[in-house]
Amino acid sequence: MKMTVSQAMVECLKAEEIKVVYGYPGAAICPFYDALLDAEKDIKHVLVRHEANGGHAASGYARISGKPAVCIATSGPGAVNLITAIATAYADSIPIVCITGQVNTDQIGSDVFQEADVTGAAEPFVKHSYLLKDPADVARVFKEAFYIAGSGRPGPVLIDVPMDVQKMTVDFKYPKTCEIRSYKPTGKGNALQVKRVTEALRSAEKPLICIGGGVFASNAQAEVVALSEKLNIPVITTMMGISVLSDDNPLFVGMIGTHGTKIANYAVNACDTLFLVGARVGDRAVKTPLALEKTTKILHIDIDPAEIGKNIGADIPLVGDAKLVLQQMLAYIDKHPDGTADHTAWLGQIAEKRTPVKFEKPVKGTVNPKEFLQKLAERMPANVNICADVGQNQIWTSRYYFKRGGRFLTSGGMGTMGYSLPCAIGARMADESRPTIAICGDGGFQMNMMELATAVQYGVDVKVIVFTNTRLGMVRELQTKGYNDRQIAVFLDGSPDFVKLAAAYGIPAVRVKDSKSADKAIEMLAEEKGMLLCEVVVDKDFPTL
Amino acid sequence: MKHTISVLVENHSGVLSRISGLFSRRGFNIESLAVGPTNDESISRITIVADGDDHTVEQIEKQLNKLIEVIKVKTFGRDEFVARELMIVKVNAPADKRSEIMTIAEITGAKVMDITLTTMTLEICDRYDRLCRFEKVIEPYGILEMARTGTVAVERGAEYFSAKK
């Protein structure tokens, strides 16, 4: 069918069943926006207040829907603003398709107004990118982009479309499948390796399963639970693997790493066999992988062969999709039921290290954020999306907000401040049955608070919690501990009154300064429909751990 | 240790930038890189000589394979391949030195491409290490200008490296 490239782009999105796009228009992407107007019934456009937040919202949407989500920006500064979101999605392997306008083809390379080489600039952070110069390629490029973003190890794909190309006419037909000779992601694992991994894991005296974000990427949560229960093996997570297991699962030990729990770090050092599932052994998760690989047998599943052996040597590598590989392992165990060691003593050894959580009494006029989060978790429904920002709030939430089947969403790899609110908007829009809370500090919130307007404009029911300590708390703590308490550039004294700020957006807001107001706020967060901002006052010296 | 890596890639614009970007970003050292077309016009072949231990080379291969436009990667084992590089060098060659330079050319297999009253331009196509030796011998005459292509290589024997296999 004959149509313009812009119309074809819209048809591609429809064919991919895209219902929502997040974007910010400008001259170079106007032809595409014009075509979007005609598709209003099928595709809802959400005008974010900054391009990076469009990318983060798409990321939140993709993480809940399990499919690639779309964000849009114009050429030059719009496209360059998007790069932080692209890099954030790349670090956490989140499938997003980013569409950017580019200056006219014959102007490329001449430094015209709002020209930036975005495919070049974003190159280190994309799974793949396209500069669409030939209108005849539009259908193939979009089909490939969605396929590449969502398959294998997911990640961001960028499509840069010059303005003149958007206006050209093309004979459009969307392909049903796509065939890329140089891209064939692995699905099932090699049967022999599956057997070797399974035998090594089940026969070990002190085995431990460590799960990362790859478990969510392949939707293998149920398989992880099934395997750990079948073999009676304890489970630890990286930050990206939090909420795969319910925190009250007796086999769940905790999060490892610099900011992990003592007991989880104890388990990782005490185990004799470590089974990594979709975890890349980042430096924040395992500080000294070379020491660990010497003392521990490492079994490693990853869909990305480059992750196996990159940070830690694997005794038995296994390339494949986590869900399929775990299903193979479960099937193998069903066929060969004998040979699983008794892990009761090992579980007991870990359980001995469990200590009850005790909360320190907060300074007057402030609240203990850990206790607040624990109480909030008790009151919220299980299927909640908890979107933590970056910094102390992130660690408090990862450790003290008790998860029971919902999703914990955060920027784990890149540590992008300002991620939580736009991510929450996307996550909530992807599934309106899930209550959604964005949790930030007063630093990160001031990087994204303009998105309150987006949530208001499109009626997105997200709750926002802002922990205010008038500090960039984690950096302050680093300066205190590592730089002889020489504090610089960590003071947020010019901050607005966040309750009044919310009121200016027409959003109800409460301030929490003591346990009484905390209880009331938690009740409101759990019960009230519509947006709510809750400022929680925290002492300036309150520690991360 | 030096490794010679052959990479078959889609003949698209931007591929070279993705590959060179990957090397610099991940801290891999390239000694030489040569790129050219193949008998299949949709495929280019890139030959990279890189320095690093076995772990580094394994990572280079894996990271190259992750690039969507990379079709195949192969690192050649020592002595399993034939390799050549072209060097063109312009040296000082006044009349009284010409015959000396000609002798060197004869011994090393270099050819004279151009001559003036004061200079000679020589080409030599050989292995990397032989080019280095040639350079050492010619250097005392005064090298005015030099250009090298970087190594290209194919496997020895009847085995061959192809996108179709």
**For chain A, domain boundaries:** 2-168, 191-351, 369-537
Best CA proximity match to A86, nearest among A111, A62, A56, A109: A56
Q: For chain A, say whether B58 makes contact (Cβ under 8 Å).
A: yes
> CB of A285 within 8 A of CB of A238?
yes
**What pLDDT shows up at residue A369?**
98
Integer Cα distance of B48 and A53 in angstroms: 40
Protein fold of A2-168: Rossmann fold (3.40.50)
pLDDT surpasses 80 at B67: yes
pLDDT surpasses 80 at B165: no
Asked whether the beta carbons of residue A181 and residue B71 sit closer than 8 angstroms, the reply is yes
Select from A120, A127, A182 the Cβ nearest to the Cβ of B10: A182
Best CA proximity match to A131, nearest among A104, A170, A154: A104
> CB of B141 within 8 A of CB of B91?
yes
Which CATH number applies to B82-152? Answer: 3.30.70.1150
- Whole-angstrom CA distances from A480 to A370, A415, A474, A543, B81 are 21, 21, 10, 11, 58
Asked whether the beta carbons of residue B68 and residue A310 sit closer than 8 angstroms, the reply is no
- Return the ∠ at Cα A213 (arms to A210 and A217), rounded to 5°: 125
Q: For chain A, say whether B11 makes contact (Cβ under 8 Å).
A: no
Q: Report pLDDT digits (tens) over B97-111.
A: 999 999 999 999 999
Decide the pairing of beta strands A509-512 and A532-537: parallel
Select from B25, B55, B66 the Cβ nearest to the Cβ of A124: B25
**What pLDDT shows up at residue B88?**
98
**What pLDDT shows up at residue A136?**
97
> CB of B121 within 8 A of CB of B114?
yes
- Return the ∠ at Cα A436 (arms to A386 and A212), rounded to 5°: 30
Structure letter (DSSP) for residue A189: P
Choose the CATH number for A191-351 among 2.70.150.10, 3.40.50.300, 3.40.50.1220, 3.40.50.2300: 3.40.50.1220
Q: Which amino acid is at A128?
A: H
Complex ipTM tops 0.85: yes
H-state helical runs in chain B? 15-25, 54-66, 98-108, 128-138
CA dihedral B27, B31, B37, B43 (to 10 degrees): -30
Mapped onto helix, strand or coil, the DSSP state of residue A54 is: helix
Q: Where are the domains of chain B?
A: 2-78, 82-152
Integer Cα distance of A399 and A89 in angstroms: 23
**What pLDDT shows up at residue A508?**
98
Q: Which amino acid is at A316?
A: I
**What pLDDT shows up at residue A291?**
86
**What pLDDT shows up at residue A287?**
85
Local confidence pLDDT in tens for the 545 residues of chain A: 999 999 999 999 999 999 999 999 999 999 999 999 999 999 999 999 999 999 999 999 999 999 999 999 999 999 999 999 999 999 999 999 999 999 999 999 999 999 999 999 999 999 999 999 999 999 999 999 999 999 999 999 999 999 999 999 999 999 999 999 999 998 999 999 999 999 999 999 999 999 999 999 999 999 999 999 999 999 999 999 999 999 999 999 999 998 999 999 999 999 999 999 999 988 888 888 888 889 999 999 999 999 998 999 999 999 999 999 999 999 999 999 999 999 999 999 999 999 888 999 999 999 999 999 999 999 999 999 999 999 999 999 999 998 888 999 999 999 999 999 999 999 999 999 999 999 999 999 999 999 999 999 999 999 999 999 999 999 999 999 999 999 999 999 999 999 999 999 999 999 999 999 999 999 999 999 999 999 999 999 999 99
**What pLDDT shows up at residue A234?**
98
Choose the CATH number for B2-78 among 1.20.120.720, 3.40.50.10490, 3.40.605.10, 3.30.70.260: 3.30.70.260
Q: Which amino acid is at A184?
A: K
Selected for mutation to probe chain B from A147, A182, A293 (highest B CB count within 10 Å) is A182
The three-state DSSP-derived secondary structure of A409-453 is ECCCCCCCCCCHHHHHHHHHHHCCCCCEEEEEEHHHHHHHCCHHH
Structure letter (DSSP) for residue A136: G
CATH topology agreement for domains A2-168 and A191-351? yes
* Architecture, CATH, for domain A369-537: 3-Layer(aba) Sandwich (3.40)
CATH topology agreement for domains B2-78 and B82-152? yes
Best CA proximity match to A437, nearest among A474, A473, A408: A408
Asked whether the beta carbons of residue A309 and residue B55 sit closer than 8 angstroms, the reply is yes
Q: Which amino acid is at A211?
A: I
Please, which residues have CB within 8 angstroms of residue A432's CB and are 6 or more apart in sequence?
Answer: A461
Asked whether the beta carbons of residue A306 and residue B25 sit closer than 8 angstroms, the reply is no
Select from A120, A128, A180 the Cβ nearest to the Cβ of B17: A120
- pLDDT, mean of residues B113-128: 97
Mapped onto helix, strand or coil, the DSSP state of residue B151 is: coil
Asked whether the beta carbons of residue A182 and residue B58 sit closer than 8 angstroms, the reply is no
Indicate the average pLDDT of chain B: 95
Asked whether the beta carbons of residue B68 and residue A148 sit closer than 8 angstroms, the reply is yes
**What pLDDT shows up at residue A178?**
92
Mapped onto helix, strand or coil, the DSSP state of residue B46 is: strand
Q: For chain A, say whether B71 makes contact (Cβ under 8 Å).
A: yes
Best CA proximity match to A10, nearest among A25, A41, A32: A32
